[in-house]
């Protein structure tokens, strides 16, 4: 019997090629989009799960209160880890201090590479459960040891055994390779890390870090921990929450938060000290979009199947007359829909395989088709079967309910409300598609709004070079002279950070009239005298730093946000203390955007200090070609510092990276919106085709009676325009509500303008008309004699 069902289903598919193709292609596209989204969602949900101790690893972060504002920072002071080891040792199996991921030059013989690594305490490899290929897991216990990744070992040493080989870092310190570990997974926070260096070596090199072992207010370090087997995150967090309260120089009401590894990636946003989510919102959003796109394809199948009910009415009548039961008819129609679903699956797999490289580039992922995964195929087959059942359920129940006598007598009519379910489904289709389109436009509008905000400097024509070796120390004037004399640059300066980052966030500021209850966290950058001139600061008052004034080593420049925060009416000339040392305010500049483009510019203070700088900023000569300028600058750096490879970055490109997440979300939303509209239009095309075929005699009579092509086009198009208009009325409030809530995540945000809805309405109506018009005009131009000759 089942074989017979499939045979009849196949014959029906072959007999109605156009409708079958629309159904199969529509379902295939829907399935392909659902698969791609499924791969992306799975990758996001499995982030960091490659670590064995995933459920027990935490990062220490802290809240600090500044007036009425509570800010959350991922950094802590060094004394915290000492107190944790002394008083809470039973709650933690491992604790490890670390610095941020940084790039360093590694050299072996004549080979030099610039790679990303971390200074960390010896227990970090255990916390991260490194998979060792060679050497020992405790390789950071030796102050002269370095642990490298498998890929880095191949780059530097080739087929040579790297263990105990000597690497020179930044042309100043030698390390012995103590271990080789398997590369971190691409969907992990440490994917770019290719080596680990011992914390003891960093402390030995940096005098200021030695001093920080007693400083409770220098939040410049990362701390990771692995909980003991018996410990629970919430209970341990409650124990250590107020550990910083009452410590020296900590009047900012600090609170420690243990952030579990499972929340690092998807729940990394905080507002007023409370976790408000993060990337998880995009996981839910795209998961829903995937289901909706597949639902759109199922709706197409339902619509076309029920629309053709009159054609198949006699088939149902004959089958019932010769003894077929309703459940047998239901099985017959469901077998057709399941067959279509599995044919669509074959096409969907092909589409996914073809689209995956482009999708990976769009999503910035390294997703692969899981050909060998039994669980994947089981899930896909069950999912496909359910898709066939869902999409064929309504047509099967509807068609099998026809009255046998009426059908065979020829008196069967589908009824005046027979088209209502189809109309509801079309409205649902376009409501979803329009909502996705509006959401996509709002995302890009937010990105553009942030891109267009005033930066406070000119990012074009700026490059930064990190001083990765000590060979340029003390050569500031020589380097500047060489660059300017070459004609490749018109200015150069150094700073503790690039223009797209802030050097540090510190407390310990005092100023006239300060509220004693105000605990201020202020951003700090150390610069040389030409930094403001190089990047293009705009002064609202006072002057820039100058070495002509020896007192400028005890001076500071404030931004507008700092002046507002300190409530200084006449800031220039005022004295502000930092760490009990007085500094005179010599200038006020407009706010310089150095961190997130979606947040307000924080209060920032600039000091002139030639000992705290490490990033060179160069303003290229606009009268010289960029490639020629870079070549000349490279030659100068190689002459003055031959040990270091010339590694530079364009500031405007670094700034553009700040929009990467939102840009990626917008691109993915666009990708899915296109397919949502495509599937909806495919359904409308099929319905328009069927309706034109169904009303062919009516069109012939109207044409004979004098109806023009335009009249007939309007007759066939107006019903679809009404449905799309209703869809738009439903989509407007829904999309506004969800996108308004999404925008609340950003302090600096755009509004949802009326033109977004107008453009979406015009575009949707145009696409609908273009889709329907092909069939409408084709029917209107047909010779009425052919359709009426049988009457």
Give residue-wise pLDDT tens across range 528-537.
988 999 999 9
Percent of the chain with pLDDT over 90: 32
Phi, psi of 133 (to 5 degrees): -100, -30
Looking at the DSSP bridge assignments, the partners of residue 174 are 168
222 CB-near residues (< 8 Å, 6+ apart): 59, 74, 75, 76, 97, 98, 99, 100
CA–CA separation, 242 and 270 (whole Å): 19
- pLDDT at residue number 13: 67
Q: Residue 69, class by beta-carbon neighbours within 10 Å (0-12 exposed, 13-18 middle, 19+ buried)?
A: exposed
Burial 369-406 (b: 16+ CB within 10 A, else e): eeeeeeebeeebeebbeebbebbbbbbbebbbebeeee
Tokens of 634: 């490279």
Whether 629 and 637 have beta carbons less than 8 Å apart is answered as no
Q: Which DSSP string do the residues of 271-326 spell out, in sequence order?
A: ETTEEEE-THHHHHHHHHHHHHHHHHHHHHHHHHHHHTHHHHHHHHHHHHHTT--H
Tokens of 111: 């080979």
- Which residue has 């100068």 as its token pair? 636
Whether 491 and 530 have beta carbons less than 8 Å apart is answered as yes
Provide the 3-class DSSP secondary structure of residue 111. Answer: strand
Which secondary-structure segment (H or E) carries 21?
helix 17-45
Residue 721: alpha-carbon gap to chain centroid: 36
Closest CA to 75 of 502, 658, 594: 502
Cα-based distances in Å from 84 to 94, 224, 229, 240, 259: 11, 12, 17, 8, 16
- pLDDT at residue number 145: 93
186 CB-near residues (< 8 Å, 6+ apart): 365, 366
Burial 597-634 (b: 16+ CB within 10 A, else e): bbeebbbbbbbbeeebbbbbbbbbbeebeeeebbebbe
Kindly report, residue by residue over 452-497, the tens digit of the pLDDT: 888 888 888 999 988 766 677 778 888 889 999 999 999 999 998 8
Tokens of 223: 């701390």
In three-state form (DSSP H/G/I as H, E/B as E, the rest C), the secondary structure along 422-462 is HHHHHHHHHHHHHHHHHHHHHHHHHHHHHHCCCCCCCCCCE
Instruction: Identify the sign of the CA torsion 357, 361, 363, 364.
Output: positive
CA–CA separation, 724 and 591 (whole Å): 47
- pLDDT at residue number 351: 93
CA–CA separation, 316 and 309 (whole Å): 9
Q: Which residues of the chain register pLDDT less than 70?
A: 1-13, 16, 171, 304-324, 326, 394-396, 398-419, 421, 468-470, 503, 519, 690, 693-694, 784-791
- pLDDT at residue number 405: 59
- pLDDT at residue number 196: 95
Tokens of 169: 């870092």
Residue 203: alpha-carbon gap to chain centroid: 36
């Amino acid at each position: 019997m089942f074989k017979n069902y499939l045979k009849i289903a196949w014959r029906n598919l072959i007999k109605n090629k156009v409708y079958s193709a629309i159904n199969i292609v529509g379902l295939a596209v829907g399935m392909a989009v659902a698969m791609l989204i499924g791969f992306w969602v799975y990758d996001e949900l499995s982030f960091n799960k490659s670590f064995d101790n995933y459920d027990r690893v935490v990062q220490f972060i802290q809240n600090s209160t500044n007036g009425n504002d509570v800010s959350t920072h991922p950094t802590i002071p060094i004394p915290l880890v000492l107190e944790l080891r002394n008083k809470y040792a039973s709650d933690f199996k491992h604790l490890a201090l670390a610095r941020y991921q940084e790039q360093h030059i590694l050299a072996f013989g004549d080979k030099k590479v610039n790679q990303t690594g971390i200074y960390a305490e010896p227990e970090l490899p255990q916390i991260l459960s490194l998979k060792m290929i060679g050497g020992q897991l405790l390789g950071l216990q030796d102050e002269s040891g370095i642990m490298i990744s498998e890929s880095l070992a191949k780059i530097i040493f080739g087929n040579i055994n790297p263990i105990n080989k000597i690497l020179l870092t930044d042309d100043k310190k030698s390390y012995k390779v103590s271990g080789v570990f398997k590369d971190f997974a691409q969907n992990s926070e440490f994917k770019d890390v290719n080596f680990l260096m011992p914390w003891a070596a960093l402390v030995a090199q940096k005098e200021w870090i030695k001093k920080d072992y007693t400083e409770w207010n220098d939040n410049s370090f990362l701390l990771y921990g692995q909980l003991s087997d018996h410990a629970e995150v919430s209970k341990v967090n409650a124990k250590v929450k107020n550990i910083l309260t009452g410590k020296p120089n900590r009047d900012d009401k600090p609170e420690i938060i243990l952030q579990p590894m499972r929340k690092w990636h998807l729940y990394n946003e905080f507002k007023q000290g409370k976790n408000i989510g993060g990337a998880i919102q995009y996981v839910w959003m795209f998961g829903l979009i995937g289901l909706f796109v597949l639902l759109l394809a199922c709706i197409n199948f339902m619509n076309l199947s029920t629309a053709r009910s009159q054609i198949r009415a006699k088939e149902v009548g004959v089958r019932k007359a010769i003894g077929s039961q309703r459940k047998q008819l239901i099985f017959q129609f469901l077998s057709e829909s399941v067959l279509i679903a599995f044919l669509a699956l074959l096409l969907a797999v092909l589409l996914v395989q073809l689209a995956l490289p482009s999708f990976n580039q769009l999503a910035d992922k390294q997703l692969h088709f899981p050909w060998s995964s039994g669980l994947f195929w089981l899930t896909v087959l069950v999912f496909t079967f359910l898709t066939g059942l869902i999409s064929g359920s309504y047509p099967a129940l509807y068609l099998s309910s026809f009255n046998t006598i009426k059908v065979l007598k020829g008196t069967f009519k589908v009824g005046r409300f027979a088209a209502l379910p189809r109309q509801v489904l079309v409205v649902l289709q376009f409501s979803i598609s329009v909502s996705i389109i509006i959401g996509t436009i709002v995302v890009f509008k937010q990105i553009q709004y942030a891109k267009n905000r005033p930066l406070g400097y000119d990012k074009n024509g700026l490059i930064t070079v990190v001083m990765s070796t000590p060979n340029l120390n003390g050569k500031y004037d020589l380097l500047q002279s060489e660059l300017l004399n070459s004609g490749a640059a018109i200015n150069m300066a150094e700073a503790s950070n690039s223009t797209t980052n802030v050097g540090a966030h510190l407390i310990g500021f005092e100023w006239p009239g300060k509220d004693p209850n105000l605990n201020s966290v202020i951003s700090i950058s150390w610069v040389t005298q030409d930094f403001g001139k190089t990047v293009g600061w705009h002064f609202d008052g006072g002057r820039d730093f100058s070495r002509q004034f020896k007192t400028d080593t005890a001076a500071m420049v404030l931004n507008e946000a700092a002046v507002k925060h300190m409530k200084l009416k006449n800031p220039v000339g005022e004295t502000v203390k930092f760490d009990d040392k007085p500094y005179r305010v010599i200038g006020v500049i407009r706010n310089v955007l150095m961190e997130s483009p979606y947040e307000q510019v924080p209060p920032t203070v600039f000091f002139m200090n030639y000992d705290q700088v490490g990033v060179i900023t160069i303003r290229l000569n606009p009268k010289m070609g960029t490639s020629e300028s870079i070549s000349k600058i490279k030659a100068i750096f190689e002459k003055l510092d031959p040990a270091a490879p010339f590694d530079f970055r364009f500031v405007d490109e670094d700034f553009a990276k700040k929009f990467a997440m939102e840009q990626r979300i917008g691109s993915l939303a666009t990708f899915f919106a296109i397919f949502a509209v495509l599937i909806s239009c495919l359904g409308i095309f099929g319905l328009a085709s069927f309706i034109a075929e169904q009303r062919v005699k009516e069109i012939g009579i109207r044409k004979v009676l004098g109806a023009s092509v335009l009249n007939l086009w309007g007759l066939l198009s107006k019903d679809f325009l009404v449905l799309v208009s209703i869809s738009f009325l439903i989509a407007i409030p829904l999309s506004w509500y969800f996108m308004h809530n999404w925008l609340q995540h950003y302090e600096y945000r755009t509004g949802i303008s009326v033109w977004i809805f107008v453009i979406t309405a015009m575009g949707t109506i145009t696409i609908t008309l273009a889709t329907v018009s092909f069939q409408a005009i084709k029917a209107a131009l047909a010779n009425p004699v052919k359709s009426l000759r049988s009457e």
